[in-house]
Chains A and B, each alone.
Chain A
Amino acid sequence: MKNTFTQSMAWLHTWAGLIFGWLLFAIFVTGTLAVFDKELDHWMQPEVPATEVSQADAARRAVAYLQAHEPQAGNWGISLPTERSPGLRVSTGDRRHGGGVQLDPRTGEAIEVRDSVGGNFFFRFHFTLDLPRNWGIFVVGALALVMLAALVTGIVIHKKIFKEFFTFRPNKGQRSWLDFHNASAVLLLPFHLMITYTGLVIFMLIYIPAGVDALFEGDSRAYFNAQGNARLEQPRQLARQPGQLVDVAPLLAQAEARLGPLGGLNIRNPNTAGARIEIRPELGNRIALAKGQAMVFDGVSGELLSDVPQWRAAPLTQRVMVGLHFAQFGGYPMRWLYFICGLVSCVMIASGLVLFCVKRGRKYGNGTAQASARRWYRVAEVCNVGFISGLLLACVALLWASRVLPVELAQRESWEVRTFFGVWVLALLHAGVRPARRAWVEQLLLVAVLCIGLGALGGVGDAMRVGVVLSALVMGVLLGLVAWRVGKAVPAPIRAKAGRNVEAGA
């Protein structure tokens, strides 16, 4: 592209970073929030009581409720109360497709809970951008690849990686932004690389099905069978004869002794002679992600039909990499570590985007440059505001919408999503009509106020909800400080020494 390798890489880093950085920022922010998806779920649905009921008791009550209301259903799904998710939810049909009824774990009675996309929205947006799932994972996968390329080119062009590791020159305009971008990148480089690569590994066989195509003629079912993931045959004959369901509590105890804390269970063909009870572990019992694992019991005799498989080295490697991305292990200390590392990633991306404009501000931001160059510069500036502070505004607006929208509103969940995207578009428009600095300050201040005010919406009955409100308060104060700094910052001083801009991406 350019004369030297480093210059070519700097060019790639700058332009790929700018064009894809806006969406990458959205992916990293929502991913960071999704670390606490269950906690946000709980906050966004204040009707769910925070109780401490043993899983066995909760499961018995759920089964009793389903016996009374859905005795003929082909499948019962039960999500048990856990440390992070104290609700008890029952459903019929496939668990993935949502729906279901919230029960009070203390009484086993149905409770009215508002419809809300919950923190799960951030999780879904993180890997689909709210596009149809199959499109979304490819778009996000391509963006992750750009992130990986940006990280590697960043290392290449950053020659003095260790010296500058200890360098920070505050209050120097462009220099400070560059130092900040470099420091946040280098400080957590292993995390940035890990989270990006493991993100790609989650859907690697959807992205690159080459191995399955070459060795299994593209037959993914044959591949899954070869992995030993074949499902137990469903006993169709027995499923037509009535049967008496076994007590689930001893089975739960047996599964907990084997798997650790449990997440939930499925009962297939309940009340028939072919009933099967599948008990799932919580995802975070070990680093390797246990998604899709279950112990299967006979629903009449209680006999163990199929244990969780031991993973061979290769699948275990993939599971551990995926587990490192999902961050379900290690409890709350690990969750906070991921959250903070995720924040640093977001800050790195945002500071890189800002740096692009700060660097060109003197050249294109005034009347001396060509009109077309000035127009493009303005587009970058507006997008920076709209995609950074605008996205933050959209995220906090979603939290407000979950509490403020009328509970009885029809299609409440889609209104929450419309609020999210509506606020985002408004923020982009606002950035388009205001001078850049004013737009930054106004939007960041609004985000700060909305974050700080989250507690005013009430419904902080338990420690988890208080935690959400306090965390939002801290984030709000920090963002308020940023807004204040941006507001009072003087325009960047002229650099003392020119010609040192190669490593920054000329």
Chain B
Amino acid sequence: MIQAPAWLQILSRSAAALFGGYALSYAASACLARLLPLSAADAVIVATLPAFVFYTGAILWAFASRDAVRAWAPLALAAPLALLGFWPQALGWLA
């Protein structure tokens, strides 16, 4: 396998940390807010409070993962979480 130059790896991993991390914490918060058995107003707060834990995890993951492609895993994980969080909206778009 061809190794990308170091600076490109660092750039890719940094982008994965920034954008992948944001996508993950956004999607995870949306998903939690949807699933928590609380009133909507409370669910928003309880779901957003841990958002930065997910973000930090994603940043660490982006630099700990074995290769630079895996670093983008949080972004992939964000998609199904976002689908859960925005389920009614998604159904609305399909209809």
Contacts and interface: CB of A to CB of B under 8 A. Distances in A.
21 contacts: A1-B9, A1-B64, A9-B60, A11-B63, A12-B60, A145-B52, A197-B52, A201-B52, A205-B44, A210-B28, A210-B30, A210-B51, A211-B48, A214-B34, A215-B43, A215-B44, A216-B44, A223-B41, A314-B46, A315-B41, A317-B46
Interface in A381-408: none
Contacts of B18: 142
The 10 closest A-B pairs by CB, nearest first: A211-B44, A211-B33, A314-B42, A210-B29, A210-B30, A226-B41, A214-B30, A314-B45, A210-B26, A12-B63
Given A8-B63, A8-B64, A208 B56 contact: no
A212 interface: yes
B48 A213 contact: no
A317 B49 contact: yes
Interface in B36-95: 38-49, 51-52, 55-56, 59-60, 63-64, 85-86, 89
B86 A204 contact: no
Interface stretch (A148-156, A243-251, A259-267, A443-451): A148-156
B64 A208 contact: no
Contact of B63 (A9, A148, A205, A312): A9
B46 to A, nearest CB: 5
Contacts of A8: 63-64
Contact of A226 (B21, B40, B47, B86): B40
A208 B29 contact: yes
Size bracket of the B interface: 35 or more
Given A197-B52, A211-B29, A214-B33, A1 B42 contact: no
Interface of A: 1, 5, 8-9, 11-12, 142, 145, 148-149, 152-153, 156, 197, 200-201, 204-205, 207-208, 210-217, 223, 226-228, 312-315, 317-318, 321
Contact of A210 (B42, B47, B89): B47
Nearest to B47: A211
Contacts of B33: 210-211, 214-215
Nearest to A8: B64
Interface string B1-42: 000000001000100001001100111111011100011111
Query: Of B42, B44, B47, which is in contact with the most chain A CB atoms at under 10 Å from its CB?
Result: B44
Contacts of B21: 145
B10 to A, nearest CB: 8
Contacts of B25: 208, 210
Interface of B: 9, 13, 18, 21-22, 25-30, 32-34, 38-49, 51-52, 55-56, 59-60, 63-64, 85-86, 89
Contact of B60 (A142, A152, A200): A152
A204 B63 contact: no
B86 A214 contact: yes
B30 A211 contact: yes
Contacts of B56: 145, 148-149, 152
A317 B47 CA distance: 12
Contacts, number: 108
A1 B63 contact: yes
Contacts of A223: 41, 44
Nearest to B14: A16
Contacts of B60: 9, 12, 149, 152-153, 156
A208 to B, nearest CB: 5
B20 to A, nearest CB: 13
Given A208-B51, A210-B47, A214-B33, 7 more contacts: A152-B56, A204-B51, A204-B52, A211-B33, A211-B48, A214-B85, A215-B43
A210 B41 contact: no
Given A211-B29, A213-B30, A205 B48 contact: yes
A19 to B, nearest CB: 10
B16 to A, nearest CB: 12
Contacts of B27: 210
Contacts of A321: 49
A495 to B, nearest CB: 27
A196 to B, nearest CB: 9
B85 to A, nearest CB: 5
Contacts of A217: 89
Contacts of B41: 223, 226-228, 312, 314-315
Contacts of B46: 314, 317
B14 to A, nearest CB: 9
B55 A145 contact: yes
Contact of A145 (B29, B30, B59, B86): B59
A153 B22 CA distance: 19
Contacts of A204: 48-49, 51-52
